[in-house]
Amino acid sequence: MPLNEIKDFLEEKVIQYNNPKFIESDPIQIPHRYSSKEDIEISAFLTATIAWGNRKMIIKNAQKLMDLMGNSPFDFIMEWKPGKYEDFVHRTFNSTDLHFFMASLQHIYQKHQGLETLFTKYAEADNLQSSIHHFKRHFFELEHPLRTTKHISDPYKGSSAKRINMFLRWKVRQDNSGVDFGIWTKISPAVLSCPLDVHSGKVARKLGLLSRSQNDAKALKELDGSLRKMDPGDPVKYDFALFGLGVFEKFS
């Protein structure tokens, strides 16, 4: 199928899925429950961190996290004290991991002026791979359990960093449909990468947008190139189409 026909097809699917109804069954509903910038970004970051597996369970456990934080994520983080114990588990993410995440988030807001500042500091002109890499470096600059490092991916080590790229889409993409927040204005949506997962990857391969069989950093670079040819200014809008086709229509 020629690229212009693929583009037309995906544009229709973006319209179909990139709308407020999408929020009802997606983990992005968790940060949509907040209005302040810091509450939105902290709830979004923690929700994205545990966003693997069954979507209903992700939403359920993300809400448990918010309840644990008194539904005031920023205040909870800033008032958090070492030694406080949070009883939580989502698949391999457990209380040990959460304890460190609380400490590190507090450190980032106190010493690095928050998540947006830290990601923006290392953003490059054409991608956010360096930004993600350096974010992980700073996130773990405090003493930490070795096991916890697996919960934040590093594209410099070959990962597609699906969950962080999803988080960045939520924060950066300027969305006139009201799904993505677009509250981080110092990073261009043009440099965002698609949150590549098993669903979007299979659909992208079927459409000829991706040839590499692994869902890794090299595959992400290839897919980003294809999506940017269709819309250089907002390439990750097609994530809605690829994901919707894969999850809801079993297109692959």
pLDDT in tens, 154-165: 999 999 999 999
Among candidate residues 192, 183, 143, the one with its CA nearest the CA of residue 165: 192
Q: Which residues contact residue 228 at a Cβ distance below 8 angstroms, ignoring those fewer than 6 apart?
A: 190, 235
Give the H/E segment covering residue 90.
strand 89-90
Residues 232 and 38: their CA atoms lie apart, in Å, by: 29
- Phi and psi at 30, nearest 5°, equal -65, -55
- Phi and psi at 89, nearest 5°, equal -155, 135
Work out whether strand 89-90 and strand 93-94 pair parallel, antiparallel, or are unpaired: antiparallel
Residue given tokens 């979007």 in the structure block: 200
pLDDT in tens, 40-55: 999 999 999 999 989 9
pLDDT in tens, 199-238: 999 999 999 999 999 999 999 999 999 999 999 999 999 9
> Which two structure tokens, joined as six digits, stand for 44?
């979004």
Angle between helices 3-17 and 238-247 (to 10 degrees): 80
Q: Are 31 and 40 in contact (CB under 8 A)?
A: yes
Q: What pLDDT is stored for residue 16 in this prediction? A: 97
Q: What pLDDT is stored for residue 252 in this prediction? A: 63
pLDDT in tens, 84-123: 667 899 999 999 999 999 999 999 999 999 999 999 999 9
Q: Are 158 and 134 in contact (CB under 8 A)?
A: no
DSSP state of 140: T
Q: Which residues contact residue 13 at a Cβ distance below 8 angstroms, ignoring those fewer than 6 apart?
A: 240, 241, 244, 245
Half-sphere exposure at residue 22, Cβ-oriented, CA atoms within 13 angstroms: 22
Banded model confidence at residue 198, pLDDT cuts 50, 70, 90: very high
> Alpha-carbon Rg of the chain, whole angstroms?
18
Q: What pLDDT is stored for residue 15 in this prediction? A: 97
DSSP state of 208: T
Greatest C-alpha distance within the chain: 58
pLDDT at residue 57 above 80? yes
pLDDT at residue 128 above 80? yes
Residues 230 and 186: their CA atoms lie apart, in Å, by: 23
Banded model confidence at residue 131, pLDDT cuts 50, 70, 90: very high
Residue given tokens 């269709």 in the structure block: 230
Residue given tokens 């677009």 in the structure block: 182
